[in-house]
């Protein structure tokens, strides 16, 4: 059984400062959140290489990217959805990005 956790926000924490996404290019923010750099940081922070039993970091990044959906809603809210067998981990990953 897999759990899916979604979070949507109209603001974004960047460098500890809350930025209003309405004043920034949402497409650019979505691209940043989908980036390899962010995925790498999430893999490291949550030790997903071990969790996914990945031999290489690249494998863990690919698994994470397949389990994650990042998009902008019609209302302009950036939404992050993470699917995992552990609902708590899915929630932590979704809210950390």
4 pLDDT exceeds 90?
no
Q: What is the C-alpha to C-alpha distance for residues 64 and 17, in angstroms, rounded to an integer?
A: 26
User: pLDDT at position 12, please?
Assistant: 47
Residue 66 is predicted with a pLDDT of: 95
Tens digits of per-residue pLDDT, 58-88? 999 999 999 999 988 888 788 888 999 998 9
The predicted-structure confidence for 8-50, as pLDDT tens digits, reads as follows: 554 444 444 445 545 457 788 888 889 999 999 999 999 999 9
| pLDDT for res 42 | 94
Torsions phi, psi for 80 (to 5 deg): -125, 125
Q: What is the DSSP string of 10-66?
A: SEEEETTEEEEGGGS-HHHHHHHHTSHHHHHHHHHHTTHHHHTT-SSHHHHHHHHHH
Judge contact between 90 and 11, C-beta under 8 A.
no
What is the value of pTM for the model shown? Answer: 0.76
Q: What pLDDT does residue 40 have?
A: 94
**Tokens linked to 47:** 């030790």
Residue 87 is inside which H or E element, if any?
Answer: helix 87-96
Domain positions in the chain: 3-96
Structure tokens at 43: 């893999």
Give the pLDDT confidence score for residue 13 in this predicted structure. 47
């Amino acid at each position: 059984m897999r759990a899916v956790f979604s979070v949507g926000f109209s603001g974004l924490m960047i460098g500890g400062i809350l930025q209003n996404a309405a004043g920034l290019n949402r497409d650019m923010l979505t691209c940043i959140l989908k980036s390899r750099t962010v995925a790498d940081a999430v893999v490291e922070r949550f030790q997903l290489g071990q969790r996914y039993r990945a031999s290489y970091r690249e494998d863990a990044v690919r698994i994470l990217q397949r389990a994650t959906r990042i998009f902008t809603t019609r209302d302009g809210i950036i939404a992050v959805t993470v699917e995992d067998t552990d609902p708590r981990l899915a929630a932590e990953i979704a809210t950390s990005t």
